[in-house]
Structure 1
């Protein structure tokens, strides 16, 4: 039991820090090593480990990633970014547009995919216009996180919670869409206030960007590659859009298993005469899929000790009931900022029993983990993606700068979400 606790602690320590101290082991590596370790020490058997992986969740997550990837390879993201950032509107107007675009797209196309696809484009276009990219990146990042709370397909953690708690697409959105929409003007107001005199790209940064040599470009080949999206194809974009709408309608109005719907849509998109399946699968976040699988096994190892169940019982005896939406909202928000929002949901959902109102419980979990994740960079994968990609292009967003804006956004949006849940 002691070794299992040590393994669990180390794995989730890496979830929070982003790397294992003194080792070059990231989040996905830690989840996989932890999964193998709990089998090695005998916490669970290999058969139990395989059974612990929720394949319906994995199937739904993979299928929706393919649907989102179709918008990348069709050139839609690149076209949208160029239209948005290339407009003649003012800096505040451009910020508002990017926040709305990020929030709405994240709700239907998965926030992490939107972040990784749009960030390099926003960097290139804002710097080409002589604008400081930081406020636009932060606004977009915060909007992607809060907007994703609006639907069960907005983020991996919502997908996981939806499968485990059997959430209704319409039932969850009925509760979460309001706070998700209200968060967008809050984000705009905070960023506009903090950067009201810092819209222009500093001269030193302009020289640094202009002076980057061939060696620096080669060192960030991946970023350069993603900053030059495929040419826009109206036909492929329409195909992806029709498929996405069909998936949403099937989620709402049919009784088919959601993983079947998502995988059927993925198969339809992979069968194409114009777009190779390899290019479509290249955009799928394989690291995230492996991380989720590893955490399923690590969590199962801890669950086998009986300690989590005892802790939940002890908390309930003290009046702290995870089945109470306001309590879950607060607890999930704290855990999310310690280990990240995806791991936080995976840690909590096995011990949630939503017999009374699963959608209220799912909404509390979604709003808590999405809205709090803007406080720190590692609170969300979207935050990590945007900060790291900005660094690759010579734009540094420190943890302090991220949290200064993110702290105000988190405070205001958490108050909105808390009041909304209470009402």
Structure 2
């Protein structure tokens, strides 16, 4: 092992530790790590910007950018506030029924949009409803972020790791619907039951406060009806574009950018409003991360690990699938699942290339494990970190261990149920 390879591994692992411990902003860490890879000679400008194997994955960057723009425009219509108030009123102010409905709504939105954006929009409204009901908001926030991670596993755009896997494996929007949505539906039913066992019996109905919730007028939450109708129509077109990828041959990133451009054109909003909700820090984090992983690819580290994994697996792809699912869940609970999947995707690609069709289910094992494992700890997924930040800002801090004690149970149950699904369906 050369000094250059050792130095590259030190940079990469050091960045991982800083990202996991949140000692520094993760975008800063990722960009600094990428810069150090350039200084080490592990990559260069051609590799960063133009290499499909070792450069920035522009499909991921621009898909996220397009969807963030679309959701940011939709948010300005008040649609998400309307949905939360509507759910509370349909539940007639009964706390657990409200929780269950918000779980379902969050999961569905996370599947259609992405989990980070969903929790950013829904969590503040959840705090409002919990306050009106006179119940502690922490259980609602914890179950909501877990629902977003489970629901986000259902589609290509639902969770950032899915976008990375889809780009690397050339999987379509319909592939995710076919392979993961049935599992997610079953897991959501189980999760609602777990939410009742963990929190339901502690949530008490207050008739007086429930009456106040019933007095809220959800229509008042809609700030711009025309904007709402236009946004929903464009989102429907974008989702149709994802579903028809096999016919149109348009990459999801292109569809998302076309949708964002069309929506901006139709609504004629100021440019600053169109991009106001874009998470630039997240996009920069991805860019830096791809550069670091690309550096390891160029240094041959990923190739060597892939060969070692191929030799260890042999033709036992069922065992490899279970190990990958469970192992991904464990690691994603410790480290944010985005950098984990970005690192593992090239390794799985090597295994699939060596094993052909028999090894293709490994992509689904990686996706299941990373998405579900994100629930294990407070830093397991980006959505977790976002919700904890919102809770702290509104005066309801959630500690690392308070989240984790529930997250470990939920992750254990959902991963245990996913193992037989993987084996029965694919092996």
Taking the aligned partners of 1:49 and 1:9, their CA distance within structure 2 comes to: 20
Q: Is the 8 A contact 1:250 1:261 kept in 2?
A: yes
Question: Aligned equivalents of 2:335 and 2:78: distance in 1?
Answer: 34
TM-superposed deviation, 1:319: 2.3
- Please give the alpha-carbon distance, in whole angstroms, between the structure 2 residues aligned to 1:320 and 1:375: 30
> Which of 324, 329, 333 is residue 329 of structure 2 equivalent to?
333
2:71 is equivalent to residue 68 of structure 1: yes
Structure 1 match to 2:217: none
Cα distance between partner residues in 2 of 1:364 and 1:196: 32
Corresponding position of 1:45: 44
Deviation at 1:357, TM superposition (A): 6.7
Q: What TM-score, normalized to structure 2? A: 0.86
- 1:184 is matched with which residue? 188
1:293 aligns with 2:287: yes
1:244 to 232, 235, 239: 235
Structure 2 counterpart of 1:216? none
Does the aligned pair in 2 maintain the 1:107–1:147 contact within 8 Å?
Answer: yes
User: Does structure 1 residue 103 correspond to structure 2 residue 97?
Assistant: no
Query: 1:10 offset after TM fit, Å?
Result: 1.1
Paired position in structure 2 for 1:58: 61
CA distance in 1: counterparts of 2:334 and 2:295, whole angstroms: 21
Give the one of 119, 123, 130 matched to 1:126: 130
Partners of 1:81 and 1:321 lie apart in 2 by 49
* Aligned 8 A contact 1:172 1:359 in 2: no
CA distance in 1, matches of 2:323, 2:22: 27
Mapped partners of 2:399, 2:263: distance in 1:
39
Q: Residue 218 of structure 1 corresponds to which residue in structure 2?
A: none
- CA offset digits 1:180-228 (Å, max 9, x no partner): 1122232222222222443269xxxxxxxxxxxxxxxxxxxxxxxxxxx
Matches within 5 A, 1:300-315: 300-315=294-309
Q: 1:141 aligns with which of 145, 169, 175?
A: 145
Q: Contact 1:39–1:49 (CA<8 Å) still a contact in 2?
A: no
Superposition TM-score, scaled by structure 1 size: 0.87
Return the alpha-carbon distance in structure 1 between the equivalents of residues 200 and 177 of structure 2: 34
| Structure 1 residue aligned with 2:216 | none
The SS at the match of 1:35 is: helix
**Does the residue aligned with 2:158 lie in a helix, a strand or coil?**
coil
Query: Measured at CA, do residues 102 and 273 of structure 1 come closer, stay the same or move farther in structure 2, by a change above 3 Å?
Result: closer
CA separation of 1:266/1:283 partners in 2, compared to 1, >3 Å: closer, same or farther? Answer: same
Unaligned runs of 5+ in 2: 206-219
Q: Residue 370 in 1 paired to residue 374 in 2?
A: no
- CA RMSD between the two structures: 2.2
Contact 2:227-2:267 within 8 A present in 1 as well:
no
Q: CA deviation at 1:274?
A: 5.2
1:97 Cα shift? 0.3
Quick check: 2:115–2:159 contact (8 Å CA) kept in 1? yes
Residue number in structure 1 paired with 2:265? 271
Which of 217, 220, 234 aligns to 2:225? It is: 234
Q: What secondary structure does 1:65 align onto?
A: helix
Distance (whole Å) between structure 1 residues aligned to residue 344 and residue 135 of structure 2: 41
Deviation at 1:178, TM superposition (A): 1.6
For this pair of structures, how many residues does the alignment match?
A: 391
Q: Is residue 351 of structure 1 aligned with residue 350 of structure 2?
A: no
Whether the 8 Å contact between 1:167 and 1:359 is mirrored in structure 2 is no
